[in-house]
Amino acid sequence: MTLTAFGAPLNIANGVREFARATPDATAVIDGDRSLTYRELGDRAARWANALIDLDLPAGAHVAVCVGNRLEHPEIACGIAMAAMTMIPVNPRYTPGEARFILEHAEARAVVVEAALIGLVSEAAADLGIPVVAIDGADAALDYEAALAAASPAAPERVVDESEPFCIAYTSGTTGQPKGVMISHRSRTLTFYQSAAEWGLGNGRVSLAVAPMYHGAGFAFGYAPVFTGGTVVMLPKWSPEAMLDLVERHGVQSVFLVPAHAQMLRALGAEAIASRDLSSLDTLYFNAAALPWELKQWVMDTFPGRAVHELYGSTESGIITNLRPVDMARKPGSVGQPWYMTEIRVVGADGTIVGNGGTGELFSRSPYLMRGYFKNPEATAACTTDDGFVTCGDLVRLDDEGYVHIVGRVSDMIVSGGINVYPREIEDVLVTHPDVVDACVLGAPSEQWGEEVAAIVVLAAGAELDVAALEAHCRERLAGFKVPRRWSTIEALPRNAAGKVVKRDVPVPA
């Protein structure tokens, strides 16, 4: 094989290999009463790699993974990489039809699945004629533990170019059919190292895998601890109480959350948090959706003295910016400055690059960028510039110091009477009202204005929709043309695994 760089290629399996030698008896993974040392993790990953090879799968084969946050997830990912194959995450929350689309489009050659989820993939796998390996056993599948027991523990000597994808992660599809994002070994390996430097993951440190590992960010921050020699504690299913239990029990130091997690922690009440011994926790970092300033203030007040970061990125571009603790209080609403090795460019509606104080579409260039969309060169070309910058369609404002503030998405922008209105700005105002727990702002068709601003809110317990009060609240903080003209309530906003609102599923007020 011709490699694109001199020296040993970067590979997401390398960290496990290295620490299986350096600290074999250190704990790598904890899942309830189960745990793995690095020696055990390396052994099981190698056996899984050989089990895949024993299925006559060639190097480069695509292996679908329908597994939640559990002990087996890191070894499965590592073993697929050792076998020089590519992981295809499948969201356990998909319908069978959605899972079928992923298996077919990704050209999966095998699938590993929790037995409880086998109904999600079994029919499609049978139609495609691909083997199914089930964790915890299933009559209709090969048994995962039996496959490991029968396989060799000697890691296969397969070399993979670091520019090759270790994973094809399908986008959440909030605005259309999911696209397969090809993420290289180089991209993720560099992300792991920089995450260790920035958020305290790695050797001797304990981290908690809260976000689902079948999602891009969840995997990055759930696997990074074992890549860098630390311990990852698995939270199988989100529960604010369970999260606090694990932090207290295992002395968790770093945790990655999405804003919805913080909202549910706050809903527990101050006493529920104050009564716990959370003294080990020193770093919290947030991503995936807007972290409203009022909620961020609650995080800082509730966890005083901790390093609180807010980062921003995408499946296609990796981490793009980070707002560090030193700037957290003085830069409300910002997601910070470009992350390590990252360049950004903000392009206005007229195609010119805007400077500080300007608003436009954000482009970034870094080693973390995707290799493109699988089997979709048109979509790849549409979001990539000739000089290698990629956009995921987010609109941002640069403040007078060049800090990035997300104002919405190009596809979400409302044009009312010829004036651009950015939904996030209004949503951030709405959630500061005491009656509003969550909010979504959409453009509604209007004969007079083309579009008008519509707000859909989740109300606090016991509150009723008081349009006059909400309008007055908005008028104190927003220009008149930004104040919603239509209002409705919803019990809960539909969100994907990353915590992002799926706006196409939100009903527009009449």
d(CA 380, CA 373): 6
**Domain containing residue 22:** 14-183
Is the separation of the CB atoms in 509 and 488 below 8 Å? yes
What's the gap between Cα 31 and its chain centre? 21
Of the residues 164, 183, 202, the one at which a domain ends: 183
Tell me, what's the pLDDT at 1? Answer: 47
pTM given for the model: 0.85
Tell me, what's the pLDDT at 470? Answer: 96
Of the residues 150, 183, 216, the one at which a domain ends: 183
Instruction: For residue 88, give every residue at least 6 positions away whose Cβ sits within 8 Å of its Cβ, in sequence order, or none.
Output: 62, 63, 64, 65, 102, 103, 106, 108, 167, 168, 170, 180
Residue 360: inside a domain: no
Residue 394: inside a domain: no
What are the CA-CA distances from residue 459 to residues 427, 442, 470 (Å)? 13, 17, 11
CATH number of the domain residue 492 falls in: 3.30.300.30
Of the residues 155, 183, 211, the one at which a domain ends: 183
Residue 305: inside a domain: no
Instruction: Kindly give the confidence (pLDDT) of every residue in the chain, 510 residues in length, as a single tens digit, with 9 standing for 90 and above.
Output: 455 556 789 999 999 999 999 999 999 999 999 999 999 999 999 999 999 999 999 999 999 999 999 999 999 999 999 999 999 999 998 889 989 999 999 999 999 999 999 999 999 999 999 999 999 977 778 999 999 999 999 999 899 999 999 999 998 654 457 899 999 999 999 999 999 999 989 999 999 999 999 988 999 999 999 999 999 999 999 999 999 999 999 999 999 998 889 989 999 999 999 999 999 999 999 987 778 888 899 999 999 999 999 999 999 999 999 999 999 999 998 999 999 999 999 999 889 999 999 999 999 999 999 999 999 999 999 999 999 999 988 999 999 999 999 888 777 778 787 677 888 889 989 999 999 999 999 988 887 777 899 999 999 999 999 999 999 999 998 888 899 999 999 999 988 766 778 888 898 888
Q: The tokens of 327 are what?
A: 């700037």
Tell me, what's the pLDDT at 4? Answer: 54
d(CA 138, CA 102): 22
d(CA 245, CA 135): 26
Residue 221: inside a domain: no
Residue 210: inside a domain: no
Q: Give the number of domains in the chain.
A: 2
What's the gap between Cα 114 and its chain centre? 21
The DSSP element (H or E) to which 238 belongs, if any, is none
d(CA 420, CA 200): 40
Residue 405: inside a domain: no
pLDDT per residue as tens digits for the range 308-333: 999 999 999 999 999 999 999 999 98
Tell me, what's the pLDDT at 3? Answer: 53
Residue 80: inside a domain: yes
CATH number of the domain residue 127 falls in: 3.40.50.980
pLDDT per residue as tens digits for the range 372-403: 999 999 999 999 999 999 998 899 999 999 99
Q: What is the DSSP string of 328-395?
A: HTTSTT--BEE-TT-EEEEE-TTSPBP-TT-EEEEEEESTT---EETT-HHHHHHHB-TTS-B--SEE
Tell me, what's the pLDDT at 445? Answer: 86
Judged by DSSP in three states, 82 sits in: helix
Residue 462: inside a domain: yes
